Structure 1
């Protein structure tokens, strides 16, 4: 085993630490960029074939587009090509530390009935809003027991976990929206976003209760386990209110790991942190590969658009409710066929930015596309996890969720028209 692979976890951690340093020393951005790409290469062999294939195609298409645009005199700088998604990767590393605060629920019996559905849906959304993807596996492994996870249990988990993208500052979707909708006021999306999240809980819970005839077995969540997510969310909001000049992404990158280390219950801390860095952090390979490749792809698309300003111009249009609704429908459909939300966002953003849409409204579009497509698709990250780990067929995931996707699309279009 070579030295790079031995120290992969430290390369991932270095991406976060040196990114934070680069916020004060702008010229130092090259250091976290090198750390991120080196970590990506070190983790490459551990990726699934699907992740490697998608990342490779994104990178190749992006590089070809960059070369073509360069032949027409349009060149992008290295930051735009290789570091555009560095803030999101740093945020992902930061929130990964929250896995240290996970509390195991032991062998308590699984609750049944409508209250079990509501508690599971609410719990996976609130916990997932902060602790992210590991919550899905904790919930699903416990709920399936010695059997298999049922399709109803699957959509309760994936839909409501993904719905946290509408309102959680700790969700990677928020980092994407803040990056690709410059000037977005995240706090202005909290109210409509939280309302969408609650509707997702209610819609899915009623559907699950009807389909399971009240026999649904949920997760035995405790009130105490909600403390850390709520504490961190409140901390971000309060600190941002006191110091609005500090970016939300920066707050999360600092608060998440510090709070996790402070509130973790496992002892001794040094041993647990060392194991986390060496064994947990190297498991973020698919996220590093996808986001770095998506950055190259986005840069290439942007360069081609700049090469043909008239062909891609939407200057005769404004960011109307109809355009919002049409774009959201298209991005959801792309998600259903396996295009990750970050890729569709990377395509749409450079096309829309020249018409100067309201940044917060644009951010709400991106959050909505992420929340709906990630919760309904069998071919993006969550869907692939359910298919590979819990043997839920892709066709079943899409079949069960397309009415939900249509309903939430219509509701988002309505909320956009009324609120923005």
Structure 2
């Protein structure tokens, strides 16, 4: 956000402060401060209502349908099946993920505001450049998420409008990081839905699969496009210093200082703290000014992802309660979640992403109709992460494709068509990985 004498609309300012308050309250809860229940989720939901008119039409329709269906299922559960619905806490679903996303957004406050103090590297051309673009987005995006696409994409755009190979490298580099990165929202959702998953096992499968995604992308783009004059991105050692340091800090807190907190919780408070600490040497007034600009600009701009996550959480609440009420908590989708069931679930979620649904919806719905013992939670977690990685790359309405469309003018449908072959090969690799993981477990 640039400095401007024009104040933001009052609704935006109020929504931004509500989102910030939700993050602060969540951090206070981690510290054991007694708070009134549900304040975090209520603040986020009120912010979404204030920002609702500015949501893109497709996002508004999708989020509205999710919320309406969730509320309808809760009403059916109570009035048709006599379920005891605790209405005050029905808005809590996915509020923890939203708090993490808000915390991650503060990464944008690290470094000089003008963005010229830390060069991202020197662009190169050809296969090496495309490989560097994928690797740069993948490594930096594993921690910095979607903001990395804009950092690298805007730098590449200095050489002219982004070409399809560049856009595909940005898309696939970020989406494949969902296979293993503990900083992604996908991992946050999965860790909550499958708390007894073996994180090390998932990463041991996800990292090699992500490497395969990179090699596949390089081979595919080299075959389909002339990359001779295509500018790319080359990592420099200083570029890796900040994300590597953040990753080390998260691991220090997780395994040493706060072992009782999940990685999602640690990220929620640690990344804003690091961002504030990096600004304090410039003085308290400078720091407060940057937080204010972030609150008035960046936080309201997160309305799309916040609304989607909250409405999907409400759908999950309604679906799980309604199914439990209708079946007496005895019905599950599968009697046993084995390899065939895992493959079918993965294919269904990816297919729904191609049709325009975010993978979080399929993952949340699947979790609500499964009864998983501890031994099966790792398999479910991998299925969820793999479907998220493949689904967001090919889904025309995924966050990455909507972002590329809004920032660089490429059609989401065109991105979907360009990624169909990649998604098909990745699907085959994921199926093999599922079978291997089941045998391992």
TM-score (norm 1): 0.92
**Structure 2 CA distance for aligned equivalents of residues 405 and 192 of structure 1:** 18
Q: Which residue of 1 is the match for residue 273 of structure 2?
A: 258
Contact 2:120/2:239 (8 A) holds in 1? no
Measured after TM superposition, the shift of residue 239 of structure 1 is 2.3
In the alignment, which residue of structure 2 is the partner of 1:83?
A: 92
Stretch deviating more after TM superposition (31-40 or 155-164): 31-40
Deviations 1:247-291 (A, max 9, x none): 111111121111222345995333222212221122111122111
CA contact (8 A) 2:73 2:319 kept: yes
Q: In structure 2, how many angstroms separate the alpha carbons of the residues matched to 1:205 and 1:265?
A: 42
Alignment CA distance shift 1:185-1:211 (3 Å): same
The Cα of 1:10 is off from its aligned counterpart by: 1.9
Local SS of the residue matching 1:246: coil
Q: Deviations over 1:52-103 (max 9, x none)?
A: 1111111111111111111111233246520021110110011001112365
In structure 1, the partner of 2:103 is 94
Please state if 1:10 is matched with 2:17. Answer: yes
Does 2:175 match 1:162?
A: yes
Counterpart among 219, 222, 232 of residue 218 in structure 1: 232
User: Cα RMSD (Å) of the superposition?
Assistant: 2.5
Structure 1 match to 2:261:
246
Tell me, what secondary structure is at the counterpart of 2:335? Answer: coil
What displacement does 1:384 show? 2.0
Alignment check: 8 A CA contact 2:124 2:231 kept: yes
Alignment of 1:387-406 (within 5 A): 387-406=405-424
Q: Which moved more, 1:93-102 or 1:106-115?
A: 106-115
What TM-score do the two structures reach when normalised by structure 2? 0.88
The alpha carbon displacement at 1:375 in A equals 1.2
Shift of 1:120: 0.9
> Where does the alignment leave 5 or more consecutive residues of structure 2 unmatched?
1-7
In the TM superposition, what is the alpha-carbon distance from 1:189 to its structure 2 partner? 1.9
Find the aligned partners of 1:168 and 1:260 in 2 and give their Cα distance. Answer: 20
Whole-angstrom distance in 2 between the partners of 1:207 and 1:30: 48
Partner SS for 1:29? coil
Name the residue aligned to 1:413. 431
Cross-structure match for 1:41: 49
Which ranges in structure 1 are unaligned for 5 or more consecutive residues?
A: none
What is the rounded CA distance, in whole Å, between the counterparts of 1:281 and 1:10 in structure 2? Answer: 8
Equivalences for residues 20-419 of structure 1 within 5 A = 20-23=27-30, 24-25=32-33, 28-71=36-79, 72-78=81-87, 81-101=90-110, 103-104=115-116, 110-145=123-158, 147-215=160-228, 216-242=230-256, 243-263=258-278, 267=282, 268-309=286-327, 313-314=331-332, 317-353=335-371, 358-419=376-437
Deviating runs (4+, > 4 A) in structure 1? 1-4, 102-109, 264-267, 354-357
